[in-house]
Amino acid sequence: MDNKDFRSGFVTLLGRPNAGKSTLLNAIMDQKYAIASPTAQTTRHRFRAIKTTDDYQLIIVDTPGVHKPHDALGEELNTTALKSLEGIDVIAFLLDAHEPLGRGDEWVITQLKAVKNTPKILVISKSDLATEDQIEAQIAKANELMEWDDTIVLSAVTGYHVDEFIDTVVSYLPEGPLWFPADMQTDQPQEVIIAEFIREKILFTVHDEVPHAIGVVVDEMSYDRKKDLYRIFATIYVERDSQKGILVGKGGRTIKHIGIEARKDLESLLGTKVFLDLQVKVKKNWRRDLNLIRRFGYGEGA
């Protein structure tokens, strides 16, 4: 890099579950790395994606949605999200344009106020789902709660103002070096991204209490050069036999569907053919066991 004005630094995406953080990360990267779904608490990892151009290196930190915790997993996710405010250059707070600003948002903003000297950008997300009036009202309410350094209205799905968001964030970055190699796009091991892609398909396939009860681990992965094929063996953990039954489905139909959907995404991530083997196992109460949460790689651990 011979660009003297090269800027580099970190932006953290923060907000309530479902605000659109992971979708925005993917839109910024122009590639899917983070999983996104309508289920709250989709993201369980602090996840970094890295965008490098001739002018800047922007490290985007996706966080689990911050919310009032109900169990050890919830607490761990909050800790993870709030920890990612330390030592970063810009905070982007996402507020869903078409959801009422609620206690959850107020709680996050209270946490934000305690962070001094870091530029804070208000991001009104999902603009495609809201009217001008709704957006104006949302901005007015957010301004009552805190003073923001900048405000951007965007849609990660249509791409509206995503580039403006990037430009704004970069304008707050200090001049600095490459923190990561220019060709590195995420700090997550491939196995973690693969496990997450599988988990995303489960979130879209089963409902009620099951999505929150699952943990996915890639047990083994190998590349067959001759066939240009990855063989991936993964285990899906659930908490109860009944959940296992739902996930496997009648005659194994549900798990087969999940496998087919996941394989499509994995083939596009890896750029090869994929053989995917999914097993379902019961591990009672893993969400209450901090050691197990960390073994799965959720929260701070990964």
Ligand X SMILES: Nc1nc2c(ncn2[C@@H]2O[C@H](COP(=O)(O)OP(=O)(O)OP(=O)(O)O)[C@@H](O)[C@H]2O)c(=O)[nH]1
Binding site for Mg ion (CB under 5 A): 21-22, 42-43
The Cα angle at residue 236 between residues 232 and 237, in degrees rounded to 5: 145
- Provide the minimum distance between the beta carbon of 301 and ligand X in the complex, in angstroms, as a whole number: 17
Rule CB under 6 A: choose which of 107, 111, 118, 128 binds ligand X: 128
- Provide the minimum distance between the beta carbon of 97 and ligand X in the complex, in angstroms, as a whole number: 8
Instruction: Kindly compute the dihedral angle of the four CA atoms of residues 189, 192, 194, 195, in this order, to the nearest 10 degrees.
Output: 170
The rounded distance, in Å, linking the Cα atoms of 237 and 173 is 41
Instruction: Please say which residue, 10 or 33, places its beta carbon nearer to ligand X.
Output: 33
- Provide the minimum distance between the beta carbon of 260 and ligand X in the complex, in angstroms, as a whole number: 20
Q: For residues 164 and 25, is the Cβ–Cβ distance under 8 A? A: no
- Spell out the residues 6+ positions from residue 169 whose beta carbon is closer than 8 angstroms to its own: 11, 58, 90, 92, 121
By CB under 6 A, residue 138 contacts ligand X = no
Instruction: Please say which residue, 45 or 244, places its beta carbon nearer to Mg ion.
Output: 45
Instruction: Please say which residue, 196 or 239, places its beta carbon nearer to ligand X.
Output: 196
- Provide the minimum distance between the beta carbon of 20 and ligand X in the complex, in angstroms, as a whole number: 3
With tokens 């789902």, the residue in question is 129
Restricting to residues 169-198, name those near ligand X by CB under 6 A. none
Q: Residue 88 is which amino acid?
A: I
Q: For residues 178 and 57, is the Cβ–Cβ distance under 8 A? A: yes
Rule CB under 6 A: choose which of 11, 50, 91, 156 binds ligand X: 156
- Provide the minimum distance between the beta carbon of 191 and ligand X in the complex, in angstroms, as a whole number: 20
- Provide the minimum distance between the beta carbon of 224 and ligand X in the complex, in angstroms, as a whole number: 33
Instruction: Please say which residue, 22 or 125, places its beta carbon nearer to Mg ion.
Output: 22
Cβ of 70: how many Cβ atoms within 10 Å?
11
The rounded distance, in Å, linking the Cα atoms of 144 and 61 is 26
State the binding string over 18-37 for ligand X (x if CB under 6 A, else -): xxxxxx------------xx
Residue 37 interface partner, choices ligand X, Mg ion, none, CB cut-off 5-8 Å depending on type? ligand X
Q: Give the CB-nearest residue to ligand X.
A: 65
Residue 186 interface partner, choices ligand X, Mg ion, none, CB cut-off 5-8 Å depending on type? none
* H or E element in which residue 217 lies: strand 215-224
- Three-state DSSP class for residue 42: coil
Exposure string for 163-184, b = 16+ CB within 10 A, e = fewer: eebbebbbebbeeeeeeeeeee
State the binding string over 32-71 for ligand X (x if CB under 6 A, else -): ----xxx-xxxx--------------------xx------
The rounded distance, in Å, linking the Cα atoms of 271 and 278 is 20
Instruction: Please say which residue, 15 or 215, places its beta carbon nearer to ligand X.
Output: 15
> Which class for 226: exposed (0-12), middle (13-18), buried (19 or more C-beta within 10 A)?
exposed
Instruction: Please say which residue, 211 or 259, places its beta carbon nearer to ligand X.
Output: 211
Residue 7 interface partner, choices ligand X, Mg ion, none, CB cut-off 5-8 Å depending on type? none
What residue ranges bind ligand X (CB under 6 A)?
15, 17-23, 36-38, 40-43, 64-65, 125-126, 128-129, 155-157
